[in-house]
């Protein structure tokens, strides 16, 4: 398996409706192993093992049209992320499958959050994924 170096230390999105965004991200990130680590009146930080890697804060101007990809441990986690996100206010951008533009090992799902940010869960499979829908092009 490839060991990936951390390139970005953390990401912050500014949101208009913290409650709606919190509901979406808390549900969608749970299957990926990320949880609420710090909660303040105007911000919620998510991560694992006490490392807050992603934060949403109420404010202006809101973050729009950004893209963030969260690492998943496997296909089931990607699928669960997608289901939870859509059930909690996200809209479909790209259903789970192998995104062949990137790699035969790139299993991912994409949603738009409440501010039209492109939010992704991706699993980098150790071998080509042959038994999943093929998704050509970019989501």
Residue 79 belongs to a domain with what CATH number? 3.10.180.10
Residues 6+ apart with CB under 8 A from 5: none
Q: What's the pLDDT at 1?
A: 57
The Cα–Cα gap between 7 and 5 comes to: 6
Domain hosting 58: range is 11-124
| Number of domains present in the structure of the chain | 1
Instruction: Please indicate whether residue 137 or residue 24 has the higher confidence score (pLDDT).
Output: 24
Per-residue pLDDT of 58-83, as tens digits, reads 999 999 999 999 999 999 999 999 99
Residue 131's pLDDT band (cuts 50, 70, 90): very high
In a domain, 47, yes or no: yes
In a domain, 29, yes or no: yes
In a domain, 38, yes or no: yes
Q: What's the pLDDT at 2?
A: 66
What phi and psi, each to the nearest 5 degrees, are found at residue 77?
Answer: -65, -40
Q: What's the pLDDT at 8?
A: 86
Q: What's the pLDDT at 9?
A: 85
Q: What percent of the chain has pLDDT over 90?
A: 88
In a domain, 130, yes or no: no
Of the candidates 72, 75, 79, the one whose C-alpha atom is nearest the C-alpha of residue 32 is 72
Strand order in the sheet with 67-71: 67-71, 118-124, 106-112, 91-98
Per-residue pLDDT of 22-54, as tens digits, reads 999 999 999 999 999 999 999 999 999 888 899
In a domain, 2, yes or no: no
Statement: residue 100 has pLDDT above 90: yes
């Amino acid at each position: 398996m490839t060991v990936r170096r951390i390139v970005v230390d953390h990401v912050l999105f500014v949101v208009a409706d913290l409650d709606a965004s919190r509901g979406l991200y808390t549900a969608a990130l749970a299957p990926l192993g990320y949880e609420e680590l710090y909660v303040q009146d105007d911000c919620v930080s998510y991560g694992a093992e006490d490392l807050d890697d992603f934060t949403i804060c109420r404010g202006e101007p809101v973050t729009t049209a950004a893209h963030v990809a969260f690492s998943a441990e496997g296909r089931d986690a990607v699928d669960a992320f997608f289901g939870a996100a859509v059930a909690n206010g996200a809209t479909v951008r790209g259903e789970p499958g192998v995104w062949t533009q990137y790699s035969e090992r790139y299993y991912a799902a994409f949603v738009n959050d409440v501010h039209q940010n492109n939010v992704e869960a991706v699993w980098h499979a150790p071998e080509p994924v042959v038994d999943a829908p093929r998704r050509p092009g970019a989501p």
